Amino acid sequence: MSLGSQRPRIEKLPRAVGTHGPKVSQFAKLCGVVLDDWQSYVIDGLFAVNEANEWAATEFGALVARQNGKGEILVAYDLAHLFLFPRLDKRRKSILHTAHEFKTAMDAFDRLRGVIESVPRLGDRIEQVYKGNTAEILLKRAPGQKSLGNRIKFVARSKNSGRGFSADVIVYDEAQELASAARTALTYTQSAVPNRQELYTGTVPDDGLNDSEVFTALRDRGRAGADDRTGWMEWSPEGAEDPDLAELIDYNDPVNWAASNPAMGIRIQHETIQEQHDRSTDKSEFARERLSIWPNARPEQDVVHNEVDLQKWADNLNAD
């Protein structure tokens, strides 16, 4: 049986001296969340630390096709930040878990709550659970902790969501649908937070449909490896980032399926992908959703885009 690649084809990680990843994966397993090898590998990158014992990556992006199991990564990530890594100043730690759609955010909340309540030692630490337009799990204050206990809040993103909620950690699920205004409302809540981190998980955006400027910019930083605090992992076929080579990729090649789907042969069967390919009436959709083919913009497109923006700016400047 052919298996998907357990390692990302494109990987750019900040310099680190170690990782708490194995500890997190083991904790998740004890809580009933058993991670695949590739999921644990992502966790290792997320919980890598630098010489100052801070998270090596202040921002981290993962590009992987749908239904490969990113939900387990997010559960393990939320669990670990809520229970394993308190703030060094003993103050309350806050995690903000966001999604584009309300349903996705509430599904993540229900999943995490179910895991916590299935483990008596964790369930006993819950102070309060609230679910409405947003959802929140508040823990009891831990021994030696100042003020209130740690908390995690789940929200659907908007340009005002999260304002007033100072977060140590922010999760952007469905990051392919993340506008600058929505991110701005959230990221500046971390301005005075030490040892912060932002996690972006998403799929390839659909041009003209998704507002993907934030995820696109993160992709560019991650692929370039120029930012020493940015982490990026991407499962995609060889050449998927090159606008010329991407056009030559064989969508019906199992080698490309494996490169794009780490859960192939584990959570997604070879036959399922074959059926999706054969029955697809829009092969560009298959390329986007199943193969994560997302070429960089051609240089001339960047030039034209910049010229248009500058012209609009000049027009507005002279409008009066």
Any idea what DSSP says for residue 55? B
Whole-model pTM: value is 0.90
Output b/e per residue, 277-313; b: 16+ Cβ within 10 A: beeeeeeeebbbbbbbbbbbeeeeeeeeeeeeeeeee
- The set of residues, in sequence order, having a beta carbon less than 8 Å from that of 42 and lying 6+ positions away, is 62, 73, 233
More confident of the two residues 174 and 300: 174
**What confidence category does residue 1 fall into, taking pLDDT thresholds of 50, 70 and 90?**
low
pLDDT above 80: residue 187: no
How far is Cα 240 from Cα 184, in angstroms, rounded to an integer?
30
Do 43 and 157 touch, CB atoms closer than 8 A? no
Across the range 69-77, mean pLDDT stands at 97
The dihedral region occupied by 154, where left means phi > 0, alpha psi between -120 and 50, and beta the remainder, is beta
Q: What is the pLDDT of residue 190?
A: 67
SS3 76: helix
Burial (0-12, 13-18, 19+ Cβ within 10 Å), 61: buried
How far is Cα 7 from Cα 242, in angstroms, rounded to an integer?
20
pLDDT above 80: residue 309: no
Any idea what DSSP says for residue 261? -
- Single out the residue of 267, 309, 264, 266 nearest to residue 291, CA to CA: 264
How far is Cα 49 from Cα 44, in angstroms, rounded to an integer?
10
More confident of the two residues 213 and 319: 213
pLDDT above 90: residue 292: yes
Q: What is the per-residue DSSP string for 212-244? A: -HHHHHHHHHHHHT--TTEEEEE---TTTTSTT
Q: What is the per-residue DSSP string for 174-200? A: TTTS--HHHHHHHHGGGTT-SS-EEEE
User: Tens digits of per-residue pLDDT, 24-48?
Assistant: 999 999 999 999 999 999 999 999 9
User: Tens digits of per-residue pLDDT, 214-268?
Assistant: 999 999 999 999 899 999 999 999 999 999 999 999 999 999 999 999 999 999 9
Across the range 90-119, mean pLDDT stands at 96
Handedness of CA 38, 39, 42, 43 (dihedral sign): negative
Calculate what percentage of the chain has a pLDDT beyond 70.
Answer: 89
